[in-house]
């Protein structure tokens, strides 16, 4: 039994991904120069889906760090932490809870406005909540590094490791995105027949 041969599609025959569908007749392309022919509703749907993907990444990191922090309290060595380490631990547990709450708030925002046709506003607020969540998870990550190094290697190595982790986060979460935005080359305008 042989498989049917596959005919090569001409570019005009290729199915288009839903986010690249040309706006329907009578509707307006929200930004004709961005290379994505889409209506405001299509853009909002695409942006919301991107927010959800990013939220999944932050929530996974937050859950792993939260799980780690929760198990630490049940370890025999936990009772031997000094006041500074207990304080850092308490702050980290608080940050883990805040990051989880921020993720839930983003989802709840969508649920509350789901059928009210406020998607652009939901996307805008969801994006802000996600940015705050990323910052909190970043601080939480640097704090966990600080605490682990402090407990295992001592105060000075812990502070050094925490500062290095914070510096790396600053570069990757603030400086690199700003640099990309500043140096990005604008897309050429699209032709109406493209």
Cα-to-chain-centroid distance, residue 165? 19
The torsion angles phi and psi of 187, rounded to 5 degrees, stand at -70, 145
Write the pLDDT tens digit of every residue in 127-163: 999 999 999 999 999 999 999 999 999 999 999 999 9
Query: Dihedral angle at the C-alpha atoms of 166, 172, 173, 176, nearest 10 degrees?
Result: 140
pLDDT at 133: 94
CA distance 107 to 101: 10
SS (H, E, C) 83-125: HHHHHHHHHHHHHHHHHHHHHHHHHHHHHHCCCCCCHHHHHHH
Q: What is the DSSP letter of 39?
A: -
> pLDDT band for position 171 (50/70/90)?
very high
Full-model pTM: 0.75
Give 77 or 32, the one with higher predicted confidence: 77
Break the chain down into helix, strand, coil percent, rounded to 5: 70, 0, 30
pLDDT at 45: 87
pLDDT at 15 over 70: no
Domain residue limits, the chain: 40-182
pLDDT at 23 over 90: no
Helix axes 119-153, 40-72, angle to 10 degrees: 20
pLDDT at 11 over 70: no
pLDDT at 14 over 50: no
Rounded mean pLDDT, 33-43: 82
pLDDT at 42 over 90: no
């Amino acid at each position: 039994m042989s498989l049917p041969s596959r005919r090569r599609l001409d570019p005009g025959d290729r199915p288009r991904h839903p986010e690249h569908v040309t706006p329907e007749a009578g509707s307006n392309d929200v930004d004709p120069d961005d290379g994505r022919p889409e209506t405001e509703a299509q853009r909002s749907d695409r942006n919301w889906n991107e927010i959800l993907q990013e939220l999944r990444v932050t929530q996974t990191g937050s859950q792993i760090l939260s799980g780690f922090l929760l198990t630490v309290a049940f370890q025999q060595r936990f009772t031997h932490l000094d006041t500074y380490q207990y304080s850092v631990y308490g702050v980290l547990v608080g940050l883990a809870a805040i990051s989880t709450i921020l993720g839930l708030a983003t989802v709840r925002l969508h649920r509350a406005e789901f059928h009210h046709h406020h998607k652009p506003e939901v996307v805008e607020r969801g994006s802000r909540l996600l940015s705050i969540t990323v910052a909190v998870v970043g601080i939480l990550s640097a704090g966990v590094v600080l605490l682990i190094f402090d407990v295992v290697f001592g105060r000075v190595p812990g502070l050094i490791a925490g500062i290095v982790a914070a510096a790396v986060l600053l570069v990757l979460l603030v400086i690199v995105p700003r640099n990309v935005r500043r140096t990005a080359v604008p897309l050429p305008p699209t032709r109406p027949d493209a």
